[in-house]
Amino acid sequence: MLGYGKHPKSRLLRKIESGDRNFYREFVSFCRYKGKVLRGLVKRRKVEFALFYVP
């Protein structure tokens, strides 16, 4: 998702670890492949984000 070696610097990871649940924008920004936004990946990220709120 974030690429090898990049996750410690990730704003997304810092927000998740701190318990901040306001990270939608950062989360769905990982929807690109070779510089292009993939509709299927956008849809998948939205579903994955919703799962963070399931008890």
Question: 2-55: per-residue pLDDT in tens?
Answer: 555 555 678 888 888 888 888 888 888 888 888 899 999 999 988 988 888 777
**pLDDT, position 21:** 81
CA distance 19 to 44: 22
| Spans of all domains in the chain | 7-51
From 6, 35, 33, 18, select the one nearest 45 (Cα to Cα).
33
